[in-house]
Chain A
Amino acid sequence: MEIPYTVKPRPDTGLINSKIGIWLFLASEVMLFGALFSSYIILRIGSESWPEGSSYLSVPIGTFNTLVLISSSITMVMAWASLKLKNFKKFQIYMGLTILLGLVFLGVKSFEYYGKFSHHHYPKESVFFAIYFTMTGLHALHVICGMVVNAYFWGPGSKMWQTNPEQFTNRVETSGLFWHFVDLVWIFLFPVLYLL
């Protein structure tokens, strides 16, 4: 017996397996980052003094990175839409752009890290830096994971387009959902760490 509903949705739930799987995974991710944001709030309210993020972190760089990540979200969704329109060439361009923008984001992030380290700001300096490095570090780890998956679908994984285009489109949608979630986390991280 084949495992059913990998390509065609189950009639009563209206979903394919991977769709519900990724949403469940994202639900657990919400709890993971939710716990970190809760920790941030509790530590901040409990602290005697808390530095304004902009006094240590560069708002222009942070803003630039936010714009980069948002752009990578639109290219991701356009990559999926191109597959829906059966335009594989366009998919490759948009997916390539998504990966490239992810690289830009990571490059800028490591430049920021380097700047902090060279000014002797380490996680142990204060709770602010501890939470800054932990949360952005964990986020960067998610960016890397998303990029690895996207790169696979851009490169070797895209062979599936010849054999099973429908399933390939679904796979790109699934990895897209993860990528948008990573963007979503940053949308909160940016004001919380840089602006408040």
Chain B
Amino acid sequence: MAEFKPANSAYEWFDQRLGIDKFLKVMMTEYWIPKNINFLWAMGVLLSVMFTILVVSGIFLLMYYKPDVNMAFDSVNYTIMQEVGYGWLFRHIHAVGASIVFLVIYIHMFTGIYYGSYKKGREIIWISGMLLFVLFSAEGFSGYMLPWGQMSYWAAYVITEIFGGIPLIGGDLVVWIRGNFYVSDSTLTRFFMLHVLLVPLAIIGAIVLHFYALRFPHVNNEAGEFFDFDKEAQKYLAGDKKSSKVVPFWPVFLSKDFFVLGFFLLFFFYLVFFHYDFAMDPVNFDKADGLKTPAHIYPEWYFLWSYEVLRGFFFEIAGISGKALGLMAFAVAQGVFFVLPWLDRSPMVKPANQRPYFKYWFWLLVVDMIVLTVYGKLPPTGANAWVGFASSMTFLLLFVTLPFITRAEAKKVGGK
């Protein structure tokens, strides 16, 4: 056993046992963040706060929600919305929060792409971030099923049906996932479990990995500049705060973040109180009916781009059916962002606008994903179907051509 001296204060007593001083230094006051950053670097803290808000509002919903096909709809729309004190508030926070968390994820993700923050030793940060995106998608999908309205039911039906496209085992896999031949009580209850326990646990694990992966390569900066963090930290600690390129996470960096967070939360609660309806599809206020399909099925806005890639291929090419092509394109779209650090062959770490070829690629990707999102909501008929096809093809081609574009760029800038 280690030796302990008598403590002079309660703080010291805890410090001896838990190493509070050292812990706070490592995690907060001597965790160094570059100075040369902008408000886009606050998205990580925004997401941590949003996740906390979702967990807390979820806990309150969990106390009255009933994961049973006969009770689920009323437990949400009657009990929580009308009987529980402020139940409506927790539901609206949860629903709007789920939507806004994806908005911030997309901003966070495209900030990373724009500034090249996935390169040169930062691959695990990028991959764990994409893993979080997939887990949040699973969380959003499983949560959407719970109110058991018509959209809940048919989204669950269509999305589980996607697995039927996998060769050989597809049909059995769909039955296994649903626990029945159709979306039923067993489906609802198991997705409830995923939504409130397994997926959140996985998310917490992935967040820890995401933060940890950031410790060694450190946070990127607005110029994509590489520098020695230890040297800059020494400068800061020696009192030369002005010429040091870093600031401590707490209190300096976080105080800037809290400022951004303040604006963000005003916007968020404005939506919660005055515009919650955008996250509340009217179709979902009809109770689930497996024998009556709504005229038009569409996912929430944050899934529209990948939904449109799935629908984009509506005719046969080279003997492969449109459905199979759509599924393959969908699978590629889900996975392709993971390998972005290896598709980008240029060693240049700079904001996209300072990269001669990459800037076109970046803005084309942004525009294409907006087009996919807009057309994902429209019925896939007539000209819409062709726009969907063209934008889906563009999406795939962008990733196919990225290695060539960036290799040409590396040549042009002379490997810098």
Q: Do A and B come from one complex?
A: no
Q: Which residues of A contact B (CB under 8 A)?
A: none
